Chains A and B, each alone.
Chain A
């Protein structure tokens, strides 16, 4: 077990390093020059030269990458090219907004998706099962940013029920919650579909197994069989899905943050890519790929604890 966990952590670490390196190389192939963006068009050549020495941009690419990774371990991610604020501070400011959005979205999706899937599996083939089958596939199919735009149009602009932009005033809980409703609706809707369908299909499979038949023969109440013997096994693939789905969640939160003008990692990356603000892009990508690796590793480990047969595969 410990060996399995260490192995997973090691691979995760390697993936983070590899993705930083890839991104670093990619950024340095981009035509736009961060020095010129920073100093403006009227800067002299000497000024540009001095700054690029200060930022270490004259070193060979390989050395730059090594230095960058070394600095990460010291907690130094460089400074924002435009405002000179430390990237770490910016990230610490923005990341909680995104994490809150993602967690709230996935939370309501779980609360709705798993019971729907469960109900449909129990009443397989009924009208409600067929109908919600069609509805859940539609939830998956519709791109999240279209959901975001339409819900903005309907609930904020036309009906004026909910605020359109921002995160709400700090300290005012009800304002924060009302600003969170529409973005988390847009990010979570597809997940209601994913979860409902996944739980339904894996429950149908477990319902056919021998231990369920045996439990029925013993006269255990149907309610207990479902909750205790079926759902517990059927929930396993869901954990894997949640672990690997964090990338999709981040992608849709980028759009939600842009559409609703919410601060967060996604909007940060979008804006800094446009401004060629490389240190910020690097830092933000570092955060997202780290979060991705953490969640996939966690879901692997949770799965291994719930079903130890996985370790030997």
Chain B
């Protein structure tokens, strides 16, 4: 218990960590408890009250169909967090397997993987995403697939570099001479050492993934209506920008708060745990 207190104390010692922690905490609480906090059904249409300015009843106003924007923002947060957590977790798993394979496998396998990684990276993310969406149609699962396809090569590269560093270190050489078996080498030495840095870097990608989901939904290529997403709220706001600024403000604000919150917290965590992390893995 004491150590958790100590970690939290260290995080909030700097303003960066304090702001980040507060923002992230409130976003998570608000999204998980959307059922409790939302004053209206997120997709309940009420044309009579369309495009209203904020009032006590509708904190962020209403959209072109009279739906309460505040409720939509809360439920949109659920979608954003769901996409981010699921897709980053799967990407980490795949990245770890491929990265270790590339590091311990034959030279040609390593080169082959590196080439594939570089090819995928040479597409700008959004164009790659557009191609995938035309292939599978817009849906929540497609977004998750896109994130997995773009992120897992990056994680694989990190894992590969880390694994190579560990395998070439002297204590592993010594273990090898003593005849360590392969599974033990993986479970005791490689995976625990690789997973820490990977975890921090992956958690720093949460804002990026949330931005992909919102961006695609903004283009009408992400989550399908009537599921509320911050991106589709922005899309509505963009279409009715001359009538009311509030849908646009309501869609953008949570995105700004979330991305800033997670980035601040991630930066602070990285500074605390391993300030040199970024440098080691950039190679």
Contact = CB atoms under 8 A, between A and B. Distances in A.
Interface in A268-293: 269-270, 273, 276, 281, 285, 288-289, 292-293
Contact of B245 (A143, A157, A250): A157
Task: Classify the interface of chain A: helix, strand, loop or mixed.
Answer: helix
A140 B119 contact: no
Given A134-B16, A149-B234, A157-B245, A142 B259 contact: yes
Given A26-B135, A32-B134, A141-B263, A247 B245 contact: no
Interface in A284-307: 285, 288-289, 292-293
B109 interface: no
A248 B124 contact: yes
Contacts of A134: 15-16, 19, 264
B218 interface: yes
Interface residues of A, number: 49
Contacts of B245: 153, 157-158
A14 interface: yes
Interface string A133-156: 110011011110110011011000
Interface string B18-32: 010000000000000
A231 interface: no
Contact of B15 (A27, A130, A250, A266): A130
Contacts of B242: 157
Task: Classify the interface of chain B: helix, strand, loop or mixed.
Answer: helix
A137 B267 contact: yes
Contact of A259 (B121, B122, B123, B238): B238
A19 interface: yes
Interface in A246-270: 247-248, 250-251, 254-255, 258-259, 266, 269-270
Nearest to A140: B263
A143 B215 contact: yes
B207 A247 contact: no
B241 interface: yes
Contacts of A32: 134
Interface in A18-55: 18-19, 22-23, 26-27, 29-30, 32
Given A145-B218, A258-B219, A288 B260 contact: no
A149 B211 contact: no
6 contacts: A26-B131, A134-B15, A134-B16, A143-B211, A143-B259, A146-B256
Q: Enumerate the 5 nearest inter-chain pairs by beta-carbon distance, A residue then B residue, closest first.
A: A143-B211, A141-B263, A250-B124, A251-B126, A141-B259
Interface of B: 15-16, 19, 115, 118-119, 121-127, 130-135, 207, 211, 214-215, 218-219, 234, 237-238, 241-242, 245, 248-249, 252, 255-256, 259-260, 262-264, 267
Given A134-B264, A146-B234, A289-B122, 14 more contacts: A15-B115, A15-B119, A22-B119, A134-B16, A134-B19, A137-B264, A141-B259, A141-B263, A145-B218, A149-B248, A157-B242, A254-B126, A266-B126, A281-B131
